[in-house]
Amino acid sequence: MKKGQIRTGIVKEVKFPNKAVVEADALETEGSERVESEICIVKNALPGQKIRFVVSKFRKGKGEGRLLEVLERGPLESEYTENGEVSCKHFGLCGGCTYISLPYEEQLKIKEKQVKDLLEPVLSRQERKFVWEGIKASPVCYGYRNKMEFSFGDEIKDGLLALGMHKRGSFYDIVTVDECRIVDEDYRSILKGTLAYFQDCGADFFHRLSHKGYLRHLLVRKAVKTGEILIALVTTTQAEYNLEGFKEMLLQLPLKGKIAGILHIQNDSVADVVKSDKTVVLYGQDYFYEELLGLRFKISPFSFFQTNSLGAEVLYQTAREYIGNLDAENTGKESIVYDLYSGTGTIAQLMAPVAKKVIGVEIVEEAVEAARKNAQLNGLSNCEFIAGDVLKVLDEIEEKPDFIILDPPRDGCHPKALKKIIDYGVDRMIYISCKPTSLARDLEMFLDCGYEVEKAVAVDQFPWTANVETVVLLSHKKPDSTISVKVEFGEGEGKVPLDNIAKRAEAYKPKERVTYKMIKEYIEAKYGFKVHTAYIAEVKRSLGLPMYDAPNAVEELKQPRKHPTAEKAEAIKDALKHYKIV
């Protein structure tokens, strides 16, 4: 397999995230040499498909490729119409939904296997067998998203203004997703109306290379429970258009939901991100309300909130059941709960009824302010929210936790923050992860520090995509048995003298490990010359002293070992005697 080579093959399985394992067909080469089948990783392919791909990388026997076309559909694909087209006309063009040609039940099986395959190699290290609870489905499969960030651009085929999602594999081309199936009809109506309005105006989009243009993004958020809609047009300040007409167009759309606010967000950053330099309210207000598990949440344009409201209820109910059971087993409602990476405080407020107090920590100040307002809105007086980096804030909180809930970003916890979290030594904690590879990595440290996984479950928040959430319940491993020994210290019969304890402690005190640096400094100070580390190693080897295993040790040396002069060898031996190594 060579870079640039075009091959065909069958997809054997799909690993997280969206990595299809393809067995490339055997290849006849020039000179009648036959290359047997090889394995390559290709994105955006599905189990059982026969595909054509180009090799983009091949190193150390591992290949990576880019999908060119699907030659034959897989046996699991059934969401096709009679004319052979997928139920979503944007499938394959839009970079969003990977699994929409598969039955939802088959998609769940794939995601469950992906998470389990990532966790089992790590958790096989623990003595206790963990309970795998499978995967929980999203209550709805279509029209489930409560937030979409549409981008302005053009479609390469005609150059017309487009509004939608990035074309698969492209940073510049946009696909107008006017029939997207993961949002409801209101989103599609708003998208079509906005696109038509600015096409008529002749407005230009912001070019990502030249950094010139006006239109950037259209942000739409809609609450499932209340039906309230928040719309934000994101532009640069490089031009001016009649946004009063834009506002009136939106208000006249036949929507099922109710528009709570229409905003104009100005953003002159060169980065392709949705952010605000200035926000102007064109209509209504700059927030809306959503409800989860009986609680009400005020959400602003940039507030973090799970994008699948009904799926979030399944996720949070699972976490609440985990901590509810813990609470009943331990301290009733006298527990202190940490909600780390708390966002707008959704989890903290859902956990508040089963705790004495919940302390949320979040680095985004806007989210913390929203969390405080939401707690007040829901009449919760036992929630405290702190703005700051978890790594630093943990040193400032005086109240120590009884339980900890982690819901970090996709990359997981910072190793130093994770160490501080583990050092609290709480009996149990919950880890909610949106990226199972990061979760598996962090679980390695938990296991190394005396924790083990009791149970875990995957929760599908994102139907038709490659993403999946996981909830894990961790507990601190306890000894199988203990022996209680009563000891009295002091003078007299049956008592242990304190001075004997001090002497024994000194006798058994571990010796300080002598490093090569210490030896080199001793020699330089006494003899006035420096010695190479390799010389010290060679002298130790000649004396038959034990050598520490080096992590980068090799079986065969590329160069012969360095031998010290007689003078330096004697100096090294003197240093070894000084430190009582010989």
3-class DSSP assignment, residue 385: strand
Determine phi and psi for 314, rounding to 5 degrees: -65, -45
Q: Are 150 and 163 in contact (CB under 8 A)?
A: yes
- Phi and psi based region of residue 169 (left: phi greater than 0; alpha: psi -120 to 50; beta: remaining): left
Q: Are 394 and 421 in contact (CB under 8 A)?
A: yes
Give me the catalytic one of 40, 180, 383, 434. 434
Active site residue 434: yes
Listed residue (234, 243, 307) closest to 272, CA to CA: 234
Cα separation of 467 and 436, whole Å? 9
CA dihedral 268, 269, 270, 271 (to 10 degrees): -140
Cα separation of 177 and 220, whole Å? 14
Q: How many C-beta neighbours within 10 Å does residue 44 have?
A: 18
Beta-strand pair 357-362/336-340: parallel
Q: Is the alpha carbon torsion for 365, 366, 372, 374 positive or negative?
A: negative
Contacts of 199 (CB under 8 A, 6+ apart): 160, 161
Cα separation of 582 and 577, whole Å? 5
Listed residue (372, 408, 366, 150) closest to 276, CA to CA: 366
Cα separation of 540 and 553, whole Å? 17
Q: Are 305 and 146 in contact (CB under 8 A)?
A: yes
The residue type at 102: L
Cα separation of 402 and 355, whole Å? 10
Q: Are 150 and 220 in contact (CB under 8 A)?
A: yes
Cis (ω within 30 of 0) for the bond into 254?
no
Q: Which residues are catalytic?
A: 434
